[in-house]
Structures are given as structure tokens and as C-alpha cells.
Amino acid sequence: MCGIVAYTGNMKCKDILINGLKRLEYRGYDSAGIAVISNGTGRNTGLTNPEIVVVKEAGKIRILEDELKNLKIDGNCGIGHTRWATHGEPNKANAHPHLDCSGNIAVIHNGIIENYAELREELKKEGHRFISETDTEVLPHLLEKYNDKDLLSAMQKLLKKIKGSGTIVAISASQPKEIIGARITSPLVIGVSKNGNFLASDIPAVLEYTKNFITINDFETVRLTGDKVEIFDREGKKVKRVPFRVNWDIVSAEKGGYEDFMLKEIFEQPYGVEETMRGRLIDGKLNFDELNLSDKQARRLRKIQIIACGTSYHAALIGKQVIERWAKIPVEVDLSSEYRYRSPLVEEDCLFIAITQSGETIDTLAAIREAKSRGAKIVAVTNVVGSTVARESDSVIYTHAGPEIGVCATKTFTAQIIVMYLIGLYFAWKKGNIGENKFKEIISELKIIPDKIQAILDREDELKKIADKTYKYTCFLFLGRVFGLPAAMEGALKLKEISYIHAEGYAAGEMKHGPIALTDEKTVVVGIMPADTVYEKILSNIQEVKARKATIFCIVTEGDKKTEKTADYVFKIPKTLEELYAILTIIPVQLYSYYIAKNLGRNVDQPRNLAKSVTVE
């Protein structure tokens, strides 16, 4: 999830690009760059000798801005990019824009090119030279290869060749006033003004220059000049589109019109889950080369150890359940802060997995170093390319949820759960512990999980209503069994983090061994109880707490008629497979916690006493 901005018109574009990138920094901030069509002499005297000037830097936008302060770059047509790395470390060489061999074409891209490895080999054989580790760099070379007529038709040919997601924007010194853009899946908008036209991955980037925008649909291409906007459909036919007016202020625009980053990120989960499956679930097959394990090593695996903190620990608990259920490999899960001091045993044929969205959590880092000192091979599951944990691990599986700004982990959690499902499936397949039908059933169900999450998000108002009726309570118990337990624990953590109300996530069967003493008329019990094999068990636990006058809110599967006889409030989620319910049940719990905290006037993006990444012990 990177930030893209482009401009062509009668204004100088350098500052427009930098200001735009600063507005898009929440989309990615590990490296940035611009490319401007400037006159060879650097002065824009009618572009007698146009050439592309590229300036890019690793790190925050201000580093690029400082660098540009000392450079005189004149030009009215240019592109800018702020990166959230997916392939290749965050460094200057991997930063965008990327050039073709002649330096005549510059490209910026947001997304993932799934078939980049084979395209790269193909282009290398044809003499193209590559200087970065990115998937994106195949694009300028493909444009160079197809650029016989003009950049637009080259782009349309390119779209037929690549597999992947994202948006692509390109300029060429041979067409110095034109910007060519293409949308595959990720957002791209056109900004229209009398001083020129813009392309951006998000409205905030250019809102200070225009309030008139045009959206672009999947697989459409666009050609912009200073006074003309042309849009072409998938077949290359021109399409007409009328601009719409946006009356947002800049800050709310960065949140995409959502009140908080947390809410925006909750609504980005279908995208995060889809992008995390992309390139790993291909045509019903699982591709997990990133694990760097041979089939023999995979088959020989006797145990898996997972360590993590906070929300990532709850993803690890779900991982344990599906890996043991599908792959029949014993899994041990530890809190990182405990693991590092308990003199852990690191055995032969044991895979060590560290889950951390930020990749910087000190307890997890120290636990990794402890395990490595005892001979463990480390697989990191992280959302940040180039993070310390990524650099210190033997192999890395990236979640592709995009940067998470809100302190509360939401979209990175569901992306982590997807990785746990894929790891469970992968080893089940490699060890021959799963039948073809079951394997196919799970894969086809995973493919529609993003739609099922969206269906839940579309009914957020129901959860707001339940929160409006229960936010004044002072004690919350989240109950679950088996796959519902980690979701219950995560629910309690979310509520604690942002509402500051005491909450516990508990195994429902444990209630009568103590915590039931807590329940009275001041208590809300949230039951995570999808239609799985333990449904009846948890229903009777809910009836036990109901008898002690607690207020009951249950998350159940559509079609459930029984629970509403006991519960005060019920929210129904779509049906799915027993093992996959955790990723659906967590969504209503996130929204419920969010609305309770909002009703209490809390700052949900920066809750008290918490940091997005805990880098102290």
C-alpha cells in the first residue's frame, strides 16, 4: 500500500509532488522519490531536450524534501511515490520511480506483481538490466519493450501481460507532457483543474489544488495532459466520465472520510486479507516459497514453536489450532516476554515462528535472539518490510495489510490469521495429512472470506446500537471455546485498550471455576458462539451467567434461532467452516469495542499509556 501522485500542467510540479507525498505518508513511509520531465539543461524552456530527472531517498518524505531543496528541477510534468515495501528492502535502489534501460521511461507502482520473477528472467534474456530487488522494476522494462507506438498502447499491452494488483503510473521523455496511468485493483483518482491535471492514489494528495475528481475503474487506463483527460476501458475504447466534487477538509481526507484511522483500518480488512492471500493462493494451489523449506524438511517437521505479544499472540493461538487440526503437527505458543526467560528447549525439526506486525517489538526480538542462540531457524510473520525482526530472521512471510496507523491492531490481526491458515494448509498438504476435497473446500472458502468480512462491515450500525445500550457497564467478560477463545481474548484486549474498561477474555468452560463470581447486573458477557461443534456447550455457559443477571451479547451464525432466547443482544455473521470462524467473529468485536470507546469520548487512535510498537522491555 504505497502513495502515488502525478501532475502535468502549467505549474511547476516539484512542490506539488512533495506536498502530495506528504499527504499520502500514512500509506507508506519507508522510502520515496519523484521523477520530473525537465529540459536537459534543467531549465524548462519549451522542452527542446526533455529528459527524466529522478530523485529518490530511503526514509521519511522530509529526507527527500531536504534533498530536493538543494536541487533545481524545473518541470511541469512529473510523478511521485511514497513506498510501503512488499518486495525488496526499503532502500534507495528499491525506492520508486524505476527507469527502463534508456532512462526514457519512469514508472511508479502501488501493489504486487505476482508473476514478476518469470517476467524478470524473460526480460533479462532480452538484454534488459535490473538494478533493484523490486517486483515493480519489470514494468518500465516491459513498457520499453512494447513502446513502439506510444506509452498508452504500451501500457495497455503491459496490462495483458502482468498478473497482480495495484496502480501503475508512467511518464516518458518522448511524450514530455503526458502522464499514463492504469488501475488494476487499488484506488486511483484523477484530479481536474484549470491549471492542469493530477493522478493520485487518494484524494488527500491533491485536495489543496482541486476539489474536482474522476474515479477510474479496474483495468482502465488514462492519458492526462495539462488540458485533457482521456479514459479507456479494458478493451481500449474511450469512456466518458463526469467529475464529482469533494467538500472534505484535508485531515479527514487522510482518514478517507472515516472519523478515525482505527475505523478506516477496520474497513480495510477485506483488502488486507485479499492482498495477503495474493501470490500465495494461485489457481487452487499454495505457493509458500518464502518459507524456504524443502519438501523433505516440511515432511520431516515434528513441532512448531510460535512466539508473539498482544494481538499477535492471539493470532498465534489460532495458528496452533488450525496447524494441529489440519497438519497434525504439535504447536507450542508462548508470550515472547515469557519465552525468553524460561530457558526454552529448541528441538531438532522444530520450526520457530515469530509473529509481530511492527517487526520492532523488543520482547519478540529478544525471544528470537534467545531461540537463535539455541540453534533455532526463525520464520518471521510481519507487516513491515525491512523491520528489525525481518532482517534478523532466516525467512519472512509478509502480511500485506498496508501501514497500520491506529495503535490498535485490527487489519494486521486478520492478515496474520490468514497467514496462520495458509501455514496450516501448507504443512497439511506437504505431510499428506489432508484429503484433496477438504483442501479444496478450505481454499475455496478462504477465497470468499473478504466478501464475508465486507458483509459484516456493511451492518456496522447494528453494532453501534448495541454499544449505545451497553457502554456504561463497568465489567465485560468475553467468552469463547476452541476457535472462539482467541477471538474472545482479542475482544477483551481491544475493549481494554481503547475504552479503559476492565475486560477479560475467558474460556467459557472455565467460568464456573471462578470468574462466574464476577457476574452480576453490572456485567456484560459477550459470547463468541458460531455454529461449531462446541456451540451447545457455550450456550449452556451463557445461560449460567444469564442466571446471574449479566447482560448478554452474543455473536452467532446466521440462521441461529436458539441464542436469542437467552441473549439480550445478538449479532449474526455469515456461515463458514468451523476452523475459519475466528476471522469473522473478530470483526463485530472490533466494531463493538470501537463504538463503546467512542461513546466514552476516548482517543481511539492514540489511547493512553500505549504505543504502536513497544520497543522497551
Binding site for ligand AGP (CB under 6 A): 309-312, 356-358, 361, 364, 407-409, 497, 613-614
Q: What are the distances in angstroms from CA 38 to CA 47, 48, 66, 101, 185? A: 7, 10, 20, 18, 31
Closest distance of CB 341 from ligand AGP, Å: 18
Catalytic residue, from 161, 211, 377, 612: name it.
612
Q: Which is nearer to ligand AGP, 274 or 497 (CB)?
A: 497
Q: What are the distances in angstroms from CA 105 to CA 61, 338, 371, 528, 579? A: 23, 53, 47, 54, 48
Q: Which is nearer to ligand AGP, 364 or 523 (CB)?
A: 364
Closest distance of CB 419 from ligand AGP, Å: 12
Q: Which is nearer to ligand AGP, 38 or 337 (CB)?
A: 337
Give 141-150 contacts, CB < 8 A, sequence gap 24+.
141/100, 141/101, 143/100, 143/105, 143/107, 143/170, 143/172, 144/100, 144/101, 144/102, 144/104, 144/105, 147/105, 147/172, 147/174, 150/175
Number of other residues whose CB lies within 10 A of the CB of residue 435? 10
Determine whether 350 is an active site residue.
Answer: no
Closest distance of CB 597 from ligand AGP, Å: 12
CB nearest ligand AGP: which residue? 310
Q: Which is nearer to ligand AGP, 154 or 309 (CB)?
A: 309
Closest distance of CB 134 from ligand AGP, Å: 24
Give 286-294 contacts, CB < 8 A, sequence gap 24+.
286/422, 286/425, 286/426, 286/429, 286/443, 288/397, 288/422, 288/423, 288/426, 290/395, 290/396, 290/397, 290/398, 291/379, 291/395, 291/397, 291/423, 291/426, 292/394, 292/395, 293/351
Q: Which is nearer to ligand AGP, 303 or 612 (CB)?
A: 612
Q: Which residues, 6 or more positions from 244, have their beta carbon under 8 angstroms from its beta carbon?
A: 212, 213, 214, 215
Determine whether 101 is an active site residue.
Answer: no
Q: Which is nearer to ligand AGP, 213 or 595 (CB)?
A: 595
Q: What are the distances in angstroms from CA 556 to CA 122, 469, 560, 570, 591? A: 51, 19, 7, 7, 15
Residue bearing cell 484530479: 191
Active site residues: 2, 612
